[in-house]
């Protein structure tokens, strides 16, 4: 088997003296969708940002496409072909949709802008109608589409999405998830998906991991996780169980 | 504001009356009597006319303000204006396109440039000759200098969002570069100009490198300090800079090597006109106009390039920028250096025009005025900055000529003394009416036509 596209080994990250990640091991192989689920404050967003170097991993190594990126600056990591749609979307509110997309394409100096714009517009027809609208005035769902589109404009080898379904109506969530799955199926895009919406995420993904209090407590094929009773209890039925009991349940 | 949306005319009148009453109350102890040195000690001169005038003015201003707010509130209820919003508003139908008000900025800048191009001619025709027009052309030069400084700082503050309170330092570096290079080494203006820009840009990089990791308030304080440091160095490094006495007898501008003087090898002989000292002034006018336009063109061009767009994105969200592969440090540094360079150009123009530089010209107030021009103009808007510069620099100048104010406020009234007061009033008024600056609509850098073309392609492919 080939080496994984992204691999984390024993990664720990801290905010001040508070540990947010404690020895995380994680692999994402080329062509798969890997999802990371976990309760609020488990450290999912932190894990994604640590891959991007902010906060920096205090111990452990992160490798992407065979290169050690643990100590690289964020922009250099992005240039290796890693793109994200961050938590809270972070589109540029005063710039138009098209300009936001151009920012995504800036990495390649806009060389493939035309054809990539078409691709993104095919994936999210809503964006095509609104290319000249100010991004900050778009609805939450549209902004999410833009954030994903902007990430795609950089032609990433790995697309990392942080809670793309957050705060969206079920219909829009469905749209976004079907776009994600289409990306993977049709273009072979490797996707790392952080989600609260465990059911949808596990349905979509090939493999999944569960993060509890900064530790990966369980990982395996998404199907298996969907059927796992502890996951069912904690993430799939009746909302989120308290973090501590989930941790114990899984480790037991 | 809530009251404003449902107030009756009577309520508005009452409100304005209340304001006038408060003003009257304040005026009685402060304005109503003036103490003069009379024959036997202090004498009180009543000034009830002035009090009445002030109260009436406040009444009128408040009335107008309420009416405008009223109208705006009524309009806002009907049509939310998403183009000014930075946060989502639920007004999608009319949000799809940039609003028609863009017509003004789009036409405004060419109009401004066109007017500026013909100003010397207009002034000469209106005042019957070049020499009588000198006042107006000098004023034009002064305003254009600030327009250029405003456009330069606009790159740093307006586009890249880096609050720089010490911009005048780069202006000073440019001025002293020219002053020293020309007096010590005898270099000509056209050699010194790029060098001055280069030095100022270098200083921008040198300052920028350590401080640009700071943000917002901290950056502002450090740049403020930097401005003061440069000024203090200029005062105290007497051997080189001449201290507070400054550097005088700086060589005047030449027409690309041909001096403006009477005689066979002067400019007038070259072009076959009778000698007129105004030629130099007109030349200076067009020089600063050209420099200002250069600043503007470079900015407009850069805004369309990835670098310029990165500046704007940086202002909006630094973290997002970084994860898109943008080297934020380098991007900030280029904005800082470029802004500094244009400051340096303006500085060397200042030196060649005055023929004299001293640290006094580069104090904090200067930085504050330039920053105020950028902020008043609506951060990032070229036309806004130009309009603000005209208002801020030309306005006080015009005050001198408003003789009728003397009739209202009494003989001893010198409008010029109220410059800073008006400055403040303008700021307050702006905060109320146009909190985002005179021209707050940011123009998209991508044209509509492009969008249509893509739209058609997609339609043809059956996705439309
Ligand atoms: N900038 C920060 N400074 C200090 N602590 C932080 C910071 N960001 C996150 N934390 C803490 O780190 C922990 C993990 O946060 P993180 O945002 O990674 O959680 P999450 O799994 O993404 O949660 P959610 O599902 O709510 O987004 C939390 O306890 C949080 O309070
Ligand atoms: Mg999160």
Whether residue B290 is predicted with pLDDT greater than 60 in this model: the reply is yes
A213 sits in the region (left: phi over 0; alpha: psi -120 to 50; else beta) called left
Beta bridge partner(s), residue A194: A36, A162
Mean pLDDT computed over every residue of chain B? 80
Counting ligands in written order, the one closest to the CA of A38 is 1
Angle at CA of residue A242, ends A241 and A245, nearest 5°: 95
Distance of CA B166 to the CA centre of its chain: 15
Distance of CA B202 to the CA centre of its chain: 24
Whether residue B347 is predicted with pLDDT greater than 80 in this model: the reply is yes
Which pLDDT score, from 0 to 100, does residue B448 have?
42
* CB atoms B325 and A78 under 8 Å: yes
CATH superfamily of A6-81+157-251: P-loop containing nucleotide triphosphate hydrolases (3.40.50.300)
Q: List chain A residues with CB under 8 Å of B444.
A: 95-96, 98-99, 132
- Based on the fold, state whether residues B150 and B53 are members of the same structural domain: no
How far does residue B325's CA lie from ligand 1's centre (Å)?
A: 23
Tell me whether residue B93 is in a domain: no
The structure tokens 């500094």 sit at B340
Q: Which residue of B has its CA nearest to A80?
A: B325
* CB atoms A93 and B316 under 8 Å: yes
Which pLDDT score, from 0 to 100, does residue A232 have?
86
* CA proximity to B88, closest of A140, A131, A163: A140
Whether residue B293 is predicted with pLDDT greater than 90 in this model: the reply is yes
Which pLDDT score, from 0 to 100, does residue B5 have?
44
Q: Name which residue leads in pLDDT, B406 or B307.
A: B307
Which pLDDT score, from 0 to 100, does residue B443 have?
61
Within 35-54 of A, beta carbons closer than 8 Å to B belong to: 52, 54
Q: What's the pLDDT band for A107 if we cut at 50, 70, 90?
A: confident
Counting ligands in written order, the one closest to the CA of A42 is 1
User: Which strand (E) or helix (H) includes residue A251?
Assistant: helix A243-251
Within 70-99 of A, beta carbons closer than 8 Å to B belong to: 73-75, 78-79, 83-84, 86, 90-96, 98-99
Whether residue B161 is predicted with pLDDT greater than 80 in this model: the reply is yes
What is the spatial distance between Cα A175 and Cα A91, in angstroms, rounded to a whole number? 19
Which pLDDT score, from 0 to 100, does residue A238 have?
53
- Based on the fold, state whether residues B235 and B165 are members of the same structural domain: yes
- CB neighbour class for B183 (10 Å; exposed up to 12, middle 13-18, buried from 19): middle
Contact indicator for B134, B278 with CB cutoff of 8 Å: yes
What is the spatial distance between Cα B390 and Cα B161, in angstroms, rounded to a whole number? 23
Ligand 1 binding pocket includes A20 (Cβ within 6 Å): yes
Q: Which of A75, A98, A138 sits opposite B325 (nearest CB)?
A: A75
DSSP classification of residue A112 = T
* CB atoms A54 and B319 under 8 Å: yes
* CA proximity to B328, closest of B316, B340, B342: B316
- Based on the fold, state whether residues B27 and B155 are members of the same structural domain: no
For chain A, give every domain's residue range. Answer: 6-81+157-251, 90-155
Ligand 1 binding pocket includes A46 (Cβ within 6 Å): yes
- Based on the fold, state whether residues B234 and B374 are members of the same structural domain: yes
Ligand 1 binding pocket includes A44 (Cβ within 6 Å): yes
Tell me whether residue B98 is in a domain: no
Tell me whether residue B95 is in a domain: no
The count of other CB atoms within 10 Å of the CB of residue B203 is: 24
The ipTM assigned to this model is 0.86
Cα–Cα distances in Å, from B169 out to A74, B239, B355?
A: 33, 20, 19
Contact indicator for B191, B364 with CB cutoff of 8 Å: no
Which pLDDT score, from 0 to 100, does residue B353 have?
93
What is the spatial distance between Cα B177 and Cα A211, in angstroms, rounded to a whole number? 61
What is the spatial distance between Cα B293 and Cα B185, in angstroms, rounded to a whole number? 29
What is the spatial distance between Cα B383 and Cα B104, in angstroms, rounded to a whole number? 9
Cα–Cα distances in Å, from A238 out to A131, A233, B65, B173, B268?
A: 40, 8, 55, 68, 91
- Based on the fold, state whether residues B65 and B126 are members of the same structural domain: no
Mutate to test the interface with B, among A54, A84, A89, A95 (most CBs of B within 10 A): A95
User: Which strand (E) or helix (H) includes residue B328?
Assistant: helix B328-354
- Based on the fold, state whether residues B204 and B60 are members of the same structural domain: no
Q: Provide DSSP, A206-231.
A: SEEEEEETTEEEEEEEHHHHHH-HHH
Distance from CA of A246 to the nearest CA of B (A): 32
Tell me whether residue B100 is in a domain: no
Q: How many domains does chain B have?
A: 2
Domain containing B231 equals 108-461
* CB atoms B85 and A134 under 8 Å: yes
The count of other CB atoms within 10 Å of the CB of residue B388 is: 27
What is the spatial distance between Cα B338 and Cα B258, in angstroms, rounded to a whole number? 30
* CA proximity to A90, closest of A37, A163, A154, A38: A163
pLDDT by residue (tens digit) across B75-100? 655 544 444 444 344 333 333 334 43
Q: List chain B residues with CB under 8 Å of A99.
A: 309, 312, 444-446
How far does residue A17's CA lie from ligand 1's centre (Å)?
A: 14
Whether residue A92 is predicted with pLDDT greater than 70 in this model: the reply is yes
* CB atoms B325 and A99 under 8 Å: no
Protein residue with its CA nearest to atom 14 in ligand 1? A43
- Based on the fold, state whether residues B220 and B362 are members of the same structural domain: yes
Which pLDDT score, from 0 to 100, does residue A48 have?
95
Tell me whether residue B85 is in a domain: no
- Tell which atom from ligand 1 comes closest to the C-alpha of A46: 18
Q: How many CB pairs under 8 A join A and B?
A: 139
Q: Angle, nearest 10°, between helix axes B216-236 and B364-377? A: 140
How far does residue A87's CA lie from ligand 2's centre (Å)?
A: 6
For B298, the token pair is: 């470079």
Contact indicator for A218, A209 with CB cutoff of 8 Å: yes
Strands A207-212 and A33-37: parallel
Q: What's the pLDDT band for B28 if we cut at 50, 70, 90?
A: confident
How far does residue A153's CA lie from ligand 2's centre (Å)?
A: 23
Contact indicator for B15, B66 with CB cutoff of 8 Å: yes
The structure tokens 């304001």 sit at B19
Distance from CA of A82 to the nearest CA of B (A): 8
How far does residue A163's CA lie from ligand 2's centre (Å)?
A: 7
pLDDT by residue (tens digit) across A19-36? 999 999 999 999 999 999
Q: Angle, nearest 10°, between helix axes B278-304 and B306-316? A: 80
User: Of B35, B63, B78, which residue constitutes the final position of a domain?
Assistant: B78
Q: What's the pLDDT band for B6 if we cut at 50, 70, 90?
A: low
pLDDT by residue (tens digit) across B185-221? 988 888 999 999 999 999 999 988 888 878 778 888 9
Ligand 1 binding pocket includes A38 (Cβ within 6 Å): yes
Q: Which residues contact B14 (CB under 8 A, 6 or more apart)?
A: none
Contact indicator for B171, B365 with CB cutoff of 8 Å: no
Which pLDDT score, from 0 to 100, does residue A26 have?
95
Distance of CA B284 to the CA centre of its chain: 20
Mean pLDDT computed over every residue of chain A? 89
* CB atoms B458 and A94 under 8 Å: no
Which pLDDT score, from 0 to 100, does residue B86 have?
42
- Tell which atom from ligand 1 comes closest to the C-alpha of A194: 22
Tell me whether residue B97 is in a domain: no
The structure tokens 């904690």 sit at A234
Which pLDDT score, from 0 to 100, does residue B237 have?
93
Tell me whether residue B89 is in a domain: no
What is the spatial distance between Cα B327 and Cα B73, in angstroms, rounded to a whole number? 43
Tell me whether residue B267 is in a domain: yes
* CA proximity to A211, closest of A22, A93, A37: A37
Q: What is the mean pLDDT of the segment spanning B290-295?
A: 95
Which pLDDT score, from 0 to 100, does residue B445 have?
60
């Amino acid at each position: 088997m080939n080496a994984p596209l992204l691999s984390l080994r024993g990664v720990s990250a801290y905010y001040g003296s508070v540990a947010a990640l404690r020895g995380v091991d994680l692999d994402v192989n080329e062509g798969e969708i890997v999802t990371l689920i976990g309760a609020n404050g488990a450290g999912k967003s932190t894990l994604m940002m640590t891959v991007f170097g902010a906060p920096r991993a205090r111990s452990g190594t992160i490798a992407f496409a065979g290169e050690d990126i643990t100590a690289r600056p964020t922009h250099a990591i992005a240039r290796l072909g890693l793109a994200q749609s961050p938590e809270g979307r972070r589109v540029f509110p005063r710039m138009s949709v098209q300009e936001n997309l151009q920012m995504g394409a800036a990495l390649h100096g806009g060389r493939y802008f035309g054809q990539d714009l078409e691709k993104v517009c095919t994936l999210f027809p809503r964006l095509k109608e609104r290319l000249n609208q100010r991004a900050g005035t778009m609805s939450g769902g549209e902004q999410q589409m833009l954030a994903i589109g902007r990430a795609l404009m950089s032609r990433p080898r790995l697309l990392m999405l942080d809670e793309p379904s957050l705060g969206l109506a079920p219909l829009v969530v469905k749209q976004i998830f079907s776009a994600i799955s289409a990306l993977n199926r049709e273009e072979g895009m490797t996707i790392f998906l952080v989600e609260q919406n465990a059911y949808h995420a596990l349905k979509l993904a090939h493999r999944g991991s569960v993060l509890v209090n900064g530790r990966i407590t369980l990982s395996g094929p998404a199907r298996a996780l969907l059927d796992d009773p502890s996951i069912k209890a904690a993430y799939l039925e009746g909302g989120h169980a308290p973090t501590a009991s989930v941790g114990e349940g899984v480790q037991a | 504001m809530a009251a404003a949306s449902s107030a009756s005319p009577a309520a508005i009148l009452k409100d304005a009356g209340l304001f006038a009453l408060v003003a009257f109350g304040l005026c009685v102890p402060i304005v109503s009597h003036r103490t003069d040195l009379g024959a036997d000690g202090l004498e009180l001169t009543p000034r009830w006319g002035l009090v009445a005038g002030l109260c009436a003015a406040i009444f009128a201003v408040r009335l107008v303000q309420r009416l405008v707010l009223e109208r705006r509130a009524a309009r806002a209820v009907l049509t939310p204006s998403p183009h000014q919003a930075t946060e989502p508003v639920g007004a999608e139908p009319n949000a799809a396109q940039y609003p028609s008000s863009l017509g003004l900025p789009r036409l405004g800048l060419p109009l401004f440039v066109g007017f500026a191009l013909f100003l010397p001619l207009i002034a000469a025709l209106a005042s019957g000759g070049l020499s009588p027009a000198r006042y107006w052309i000098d004023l034009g030069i002064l305003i254009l200098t600030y327009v250029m400084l405003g456009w330069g700082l606009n790159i740093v503050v307006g586009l890249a969002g880096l609050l720089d309170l010490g911009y005048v330092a780069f202006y000073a570096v440019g001025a002293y570069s020219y002053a020293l290079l020309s007096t010590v080494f005898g270099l000509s203006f056209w050699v010194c100009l790029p060098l001055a820009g280069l030095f100022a840009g270098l200083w921008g990089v040198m300052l920028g490198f350590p401080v640009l990791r700071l943000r917002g308030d901290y950056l502002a304080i450090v740049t403020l300090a930097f401005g003061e440091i440069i000024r203090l160095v200029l005062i105290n490094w007497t051997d080189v800079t001449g201290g507070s006495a400054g550097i005088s007898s700086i060589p005047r501008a030449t027409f690309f090597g041909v001096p403006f003087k009477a005689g066979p090898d002067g400019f007038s002989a070259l072009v076959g006109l009778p000698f007129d000292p105004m030629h130099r002034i007109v030349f200076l006018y067009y020089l600063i106009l050209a420099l200002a336009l250069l600043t503007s063109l470079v900015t407009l061009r850069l805004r369309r390039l990835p670098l310029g767009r990165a500046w704007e994105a940086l202002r909006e969200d630094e973290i997002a920028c970084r994860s898109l592969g943008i080297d934020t440090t380098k991007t900030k540094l280029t904005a800082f250096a470029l802004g500094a360079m244009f400051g340096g150009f303006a500085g060397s123009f200042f030196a060649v025009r005055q023929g004299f530089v001293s640290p006094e010209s580069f104090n904090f107030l200067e930085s504050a005025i330039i920053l105020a021009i950028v902020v008043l103009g609506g951060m990032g808007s070229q036309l806004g900055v130009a309009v603000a510069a005209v208002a801020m620099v030309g306005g006080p100048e015009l005050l001198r000529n408003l003789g009728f104010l003397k009739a209202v406020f009494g003989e001893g009234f010198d409008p010029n003394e109220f410059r800073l007061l008006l400055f403040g009033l303008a700021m307050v008024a702006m905060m109320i009416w146009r909190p985002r600056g005179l021209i707050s609509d940011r123009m998209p850098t991508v044209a509509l036509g492009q969008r249509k073309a893509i739209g058609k392609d997609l339609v043809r492919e059956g996705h439309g």
